[in-house]
Amino acid sequence: MIHELKNKNNPIHRESLIQLAKKYGTPLYVYDFFKIKKQYIKMKNAFNGVKNLIINYACKANTNLNILKFLQKLGSGLDTVSIQEVKIGLKAGFHPKKIIFTPNCVSLQEIKEAVNFGVRINLDNLSILEQFGEYYPDYAIGIRINPHIMAGGNYKISVGHIDSKFGISYYQIPHMKRILKNTGLKIEGFHMHTGSDISDIKAFLSGAEVLFQTAIDFPNLDYIDFGSGFKVPYKKNDLKTDLNYLSYSITKKFLNFCENYGNKITLIFEPGKFIVSESGYFLVSVNVIKHTVSTVFAGVNSGFNHFLRPMFYDAYHCIENISNPDGRFRFYTVVGYICESDTFGVNRKVKEIREGDILCIKNAGAYCFSMSSNYNSRYRPSEVMIFKGKDFLIRKRETMQDLMRNIIDIHI
């Protein structure tokens, strides 16, 4: 259930969400900035045994400028995967050297643009590495390693296995060394990311061993970047990454590596979902209750155009009827208004749903609005932040003018 947070400045509770839905309309994303801060501090405190620690927010999870500005003020760095994210990060006030650009399958021209901005760069392709070295032999870069580890909530979000398009295989390190020797290019760090929603600590530790074994042969490194992939809970008693056990194990291994390496280098993590997922609530209105021979559907005024994860990853998100907290539980399949199979949850036990009720979909802070689209020519929704007990509109709902903005009307 949704309860008021203990912090008096952050009244996120059922009544306040209903008032926000009335004030701003639905569908509506709501973000609790107190929760974002809490998660960031939790991450920092977990690894307080490492003096040279950097937390880079993986902004592909949610690129709203106001979230980036808030994390920048907290001291976070930024993990980016596109030149557009780099530009948003710079606009949010991040210093270029606090931004790491880790692209995949982008053009050399996009990487050149990142060089012009002066950000840190991780490369994961031997061909691009060789070309980059010819143009910028004096621009130190990081290398993304593919550790050949299958990890993550499902295959679609596992990115460190042998058939993944991400990273340079650790079997290709001899080839990589040859390119470095031929171009004179200098490496400042090594990077790894094996997937998302990882609850098995062994996956992190196995990846760490690959990075340590690789890095030991390269003098004068500045950082080792473990990426992220921490699992957050999506329902009661759900699995999650044991951050305390992970931090104990990683810190111990990292400090031993630094001692053997002979230099105190920086440890970097790139959490995205861990920072913002649980801060988000997605509010939708019930358009219709539809009975079929076997199913009761609750059809809402949104769909996978706004909230793709359940359809894309079979992801589970808790759904609550905040309009009828005293109703009796019934079973519903909650669906959207998109002209495709469009399902938020199948056969869910929810307090009785009536037409006009407001449903709240939880864990909506990460990979939700950022993956939205205008499919079926629908408008993308508004976003609101809650900060110190006050609500602020941080993205307006789109209009027909937004849909037509870049269309060129040719008269034939």
User: DSSP H helical segments within 65-200, as ranges?
Assistant: 65-74, 83-91, 108-117, 126-135, 173-183
**For residue 151, what are the contacts with CB-CB under 8 A and spacing of at least 6?**
158, 160, 194, 195, 198, 200, 203, 207, 229
DSSP per-residue codes, 342-362: -EEEEEEEEE---TT-EEEEE
Q: Tell whether residue 229 is among the known ligand binding residues.
A: yes
Q: Is 367 annotated as a binding residue?
A: yes
The reply to whether 320 sits in an annotated binding site is no
Tell me if 183 sits within 8 A of 146, measured CB to CB.
no
Does 152 appear as a known binding residue?
no
* Residue type for position 321: N
Any residues with CB less than 8 A from the CB of 22 and at least 6 apart, and which? none
Give the number of other CB atoms < 10 A from CB of residue 181: 10
Q: Is 339 a catalytic residue?
A: yes
Residue 256 has φ and ψ, to the nearest 5°, of -65, -40
Long-range contacts of 90-99 (CB under 8 A, 24+ apart): 90/117, 91/65, 92/65, 92/68, 93/69, 94/68, 96/120, 98/56, 98/72
Catalytic residue among 59, 105, 339, 360: 339
If you ran DSSP here, which 8-state letter would residue 305 be given?
A: T
Classify 327 as helix, strand or coil: coil
Q: How many alpha carbons lie under 13 Å from residue 323 in its C-beta half-sphere?
A: 15
Neighbours of 258 (CB within 10 A): 19
**Do residues 303 and 334 lie in contact, with contact meaning Cβ atoms separated by under 8 Å?**
no
Cα-based distances in Å from 342 to 68, 243, 311, 334, 361 = 31, 34, 7, 9, 15
What are φ and ψ of residue 89, in 5° steps?
-60, -45
Has 309 been labeled as part of a binding site?
A: yes
User: Which residues are annotated binding-site positions for substrate?
Assistant: 309, 313, 340, 367
Catalytic residue list:
339
User: Which residues are annotated binding-site positions?
Assistant: 229, 309, 313, 340, 367
User: Which residues are annotated binding-site positions for pyridoxal 5'-phosphate?
Assistant: 229, 367
